[in-house]
Amino acid sequence: MSTTSFSIFILIQDINDNITLENQVVDQPFETHIIEDVDMNGHFVSSSENEDVNDIDIGLEYDEDESIMGKVFNTPKNAYTFYNRYAFLHGFGIRTHWGYKNKTTKDFYRKMYVCNKQGFKRLKGANSCGNTKQRRRALRTGCEAMLRISKRKDGKWFVDIFNDTHNHELSITPTKVMKHRSHAKFHRSMACKSLMVEFGQSGLKPSQIKKAVNAIKSPYEADVTSKQCVDVLSEQRRNYKGKEFYGLIKHFQDKALVDTNQYFVVDLFEDGSPRNIFWADGRSRDAYTKFGDVVVFDVTYMTNKFKMPFSPFVGVNHHGQSILFGGALLENEKEETFKWLFEHFLKCMFEKYPSAIITDQDKAIGNAISKVFPNTRHRFCAWHIKKHEQVHLRPLVARYSDFKDSYKSWIKCDTIEEFEIKWEGIRDKYNLENKSWLTEMYYQRKHWAKAFLKDVFFAGMTTSERSESIQSFFDGFVNSKTMLNEFVVQYDKAVHSRRAAEEDEDFKTMNSKPVLFSVHPIEAKAGECYTRKMFEAFKKEWIEAMGNLTHETLSKSTKKIKYRVGQLNVDKMHWRIVTFHFLNPINVKCSCAKFETYGILCKHSLYVIKKRHVETLPDHYILPRWTLDARFKVDSTNIGLEEINNENGVSALTEWCVRANYNKAIELVRDSSFEIRKLNNFLVKFLEDQLSRKKAKGHPNTSQESCAGISQVDMVPQISIRDPLLPTNTKGRPKNANRIKSSLEMVKKKRTCSHCGGLGHYISGCSIKKAEEALKDKELYGK
């Protein structure tokens, strides 16, 4: 030993398990190790050459009798890993105890790793209220097993103290050892955390995530728990706390880089928090050009912690499947809010009005539709009307035995004249008040009565169940605690799922041939043109027309012939009137109006067409929206122009289609320099011609505003964005529910007696019934 160095003897005490902590033994043998003094930089200088342990392999290939003292590590992390693997082989767990820092540089020069049972739990007395805390079982036993490392001058770390004496039993089996926190580290790995977050974003619950992760992990890793899954997901959500709205906007900005036709608009408060949000991607806008004749709109779903109602625009594709045209998160359910939303929806969809829209009986929605979509036929959801019937018609049904049949006969009227006549009879017979629910429904008959909607195409829909089915997809994916940035990701997953189902049906239709019921060319043509699902609907009508129907002739002329068609076992009052026109092309019309409302010929019309020996199905009775031609084509060379011109000039839809064709042309020729020059020469020549045309007409060189690929934020300039401060106030929502109940569902049902029809009591407490029973008893036994 050098005379200039100061020797330090480190004593490690060997303590027996049966000696208490207070009576420490000082005469036990100690393991000693001499190290050099600490230099001015806080480094240690070893007096002997130490065994080096490199960064890559820090395994435990050594004789257990060999001392661990003096081993060298490049980093403290390597030392921790080494000691943790040693602990795993010997049946205990470890943790980081503390470290020593240099007062000048603030860098660590010494670290200590101890057994996880080191020390004792700090116990405090009662809390500030004087109540004793409920404490968990104690885990620590005061074990002094430990490993300490210090830093040398060359920056490496070496073991200067090692104690391997435990005062507790060690775990014997590997399955038990893995449960120690230091060994159960799989759930803390980046791979496992990423997997948990991915599963969480897919809508799985922590209990489901636990099962999925444990099913795919290595058997040598400890099982993850639901609590660990919750902790990982909570940590991920905390990263976005206060930045949810920013994350939502960034999500759409990132999407805009790959989808130039995306539409996204936000209406902000003055403080920068969101008031209303609406979005639709390019493919949804393309789908609207083909299937936008009918739109279902509903606002009955809560999907985020700010309680902003989610409002999807839903349609029906060529397979009869629900598709999403766009989505919105709204501040409230007021008329001005819906007006803002519908205006941007119309702007997004190239000013193309839907032919029909189905909603519930919300007055605010109805007023907004009448202002923004004045020429669109508005239909009330049949499901909501039936729910109202159960509440408001119960007293009339209880009071009048024939009211139910009269009511059903009235609402099923085929003609407006019949509807009006039967209404007058019902109103007078049952003494309906002017302010009754049924009278109010009569005033709104154009929005729900079958006789007034027979000429409107609804793609077979009468309720907002399409919107409900879309919203049911979100069950389990989103809830009242879902963050805004998470919700838009889940929306994209819903859209992706719907499109995957559509592509599956496209493939099944193209990869199979229809099974025909007959050899008739009408059915054969339908099988060639319709998609698989639509042909099944047509085939059902065709089979009925082939075997179960008969007719009688009502009138005949040189231009048309009128039949009454129906089944022999059905009363003729329920038969349908079919008119066949001798035109070119032929025209057939049935009183059931199935083709007008659904787009597929009914069995009555098909029966007459077959009887008139029509050889093939006329083209005008095959709607393009029910064929494969309406499918989305990724590699399509062009997009047809559906609206070439109108009174105001070129439509937004036409401009969008031309822009899409230009983008596709660029994609097709970018692999050939010759073709790209050819396209450029054509464009230069075209631009020169247009400039000459403009000069000749004296038109200014201005461009029309386009709706293609809009992304905007309605806000005060230079204002920062922020999350909402408080949840949105809506028309009412249960504390823990996902779905907002409609105003009808929120109505508190009144008690109604089934005997007398009175309100406020049931039959069990009906005084009239009791009086009648008492009278009967008196008549029987009174004498």
Distance, in Å, from the CA atom of 263 to the CA atom of 169, rounded to the nearest integer, reads: 65
Give ∠ CA 319-664-708 in degrees, rounded to 5. 75
> Do 221 and 145 belong together in one domain?
no
Lowest mean pLDDT among 27-41, 172-186, 688-702: 27-41
* Nearest residue to 113 via CA among 155, 147, 137: 147
For 292, 640, 646, the CA distances from 352, given in Å and listed in that order, are 8, 15, 12
Provide the 3-class DSSP secondary structure of residue 439: helix
pLDDT at 464: 57
pLDDT at 514: 93
Find the helix or strand (DSSP H, E) in which 674 lies: helix 673-697
pLDDT at 592: 93
> Do 169 and 231 belong together in one domain?
no
pLDDT at 99: 84
Classify each residue of 419-445 as buried b or exposed e, where b means 16 or more C-beta atoms within 10 Å of its C-beta: beebbeebbeebebeeebebeebbeeb
Domain, as residue range, for 758? 750-783
> Do 152 and 46 belong together in one domain?
yes
The answer to whether residue 592 sits within a structural domain is yes
Inform me whether the pLDDT recorded for 346 exceeds 80: yes
Share of the chain above pLDDT 70, in %: 74
Tokens 């909501």 identify what position?
A: 384
Contact call for residues 47 and 57 (beta carbons, < 8 A): no
Other CB atoms within 10 A of residue 86 CB: 18
Give ∠ CA 308-312-316 in degrees, rounded to 5. 170
> Do 61 and 87 belong together in one domain?
yes
Retrieve residue 311's tokens.
Answer: 């409002």
Query: Is beta strand 711-714 parallel, antiparallel or unpaired with respect to 356-359?
Result: unpaired
Select from 421, 437, 457 the last residue of a domain: 457
Provide the 3-class DSSP secondary structure of residue 381: coil
> Do 410 and 558 belong together in one domain?
no
Distance, in Å, from the CA atom of 364 to the CA atom of 341, rounded to the nearest integer, reads: 12
Inform me whether the pLDDT recorded for 567 exceeds 70: yes
The mean pLDDT of the chain is 78
- To the nearest 10 degrees (0 to 180), the angle between helices 206-216 and 190-201 is 130
pLDDT at 711: 56
Distance, in Å, from the CA atom of 90 to the CA atom of 177, rounded to the nearest integer, reads: 9
Provide the 3-class DSSP secondary structure of residue 95: strand
> Do 34 and 94 belong together in one domain?
yes
Lowest mean pLDDT among 46-55, 133-142, 760-769: 46-55
Q: What are phi and psi of 149, to 5 degrees?
A: -120, 150
Separation of CA 720 from chain center = 28
The gap between the terminal CA atoms of the chain, to the nearest Å, is 130
> Do 170 and 194 belong together in one domain?
no
Inform me whether the pLDDT recorded for 369 exceeds 60: yes
Q: DSSP string spanning 22-45?
A: SS--SSS-B---EEPPB-TTS-B-
Retrieve residue 176's tokens.
Answer: 């038990």
pLDDT at 473: 58
pLDDT at 31: 36
Retrieve residue 142's tokens.
Answer: 């005061």
Select from 621, 641, 664 the last residue of a domain: 621
The answer to whether residue 215 sits within a structural domain is yes
> Do 95 and 211 belong together in one domain?
no
The answer to whether residue 243 sits within a structural domain is no
pLDDT at 715: 43
Share of the chain above pLDDT 90, in %: 35
| Tens-place pLDDT, residues 14-49 | 323 333 333 333 333 333 333 344 444 444 444 334
> Do 209 and 116 belong together in one domain?
no
Select from 434, 457, 480 the last residue of a domain: 457
> Do 33 and 78 belong together in one domain?
yes
> Do 199 and 178 belong together in one domain?
no
Distance, in Å, from the CA atom of 649 to the CA atom of 692, rounded to the nearest integer, reads: 19
DSSP 729: P
Distance, in Å, from the CA atom of 387 to the CA atom of 744, rounded to the nearest integer, reads: 7
pLDDT at 740: 46
Contact call for residues 628 and 318 (beta carbons, < 8 A): yes
Q: How many domains does the chain have?
A: 5
Query: Is beta strand 587-590 parallel, antiparallel or unpaired with respect to 711-714?
Result: unpaired
Q: Which residue has the higher pLDDT, 290 or 230?
A: 290
| Tens-place pLDDT, residues 236-294 | 777 666 677 888 888 898 898 888 889 999 988 877 778 899 999 999 999 999 999 99
Q: What are phi and psi of 524, to 5 degrees?
A: -60, -45
Tokens 């629910």 identify what position?
A: 437
Query: Is beta strand 576-581 parallel, antiparallel or unpaired with respect to 587-590?
Result: antiparallel
The answer to whether residue 658 sits within a structural domain is no
The answer to whether residue 74 sits within a structural domain is yes
Retrieve residue 461's tokens.
Answer: 């829909």
284 Cβ neighbours under 8 A, 6+ residues apart: 323, 324, 325, 326, 495
Q: What is the mean pLDDT of residues 383-390?
A: 87
Q: DSSP string spanning 203-261?
A: T--HHHHHHHHHHHS-TTSPPP-HHHHHHHHHHHHHTTTT-HHHHHHHHHHHHHHH-TT
> Do 83 and 174 belong together in one domain?
yes
Give 368's pLDDT tier (boundaries 50, 70, 90): very high
The answer to whether residue 312 sits within a structural domain is no
| Tens-place pLDDT, residues 653-684 | 666 677 777 777 777 777 888 888 888 888 88
461 Cβ neighbours under 8 A, 6+ residues apart: 294, 296, 316, 358
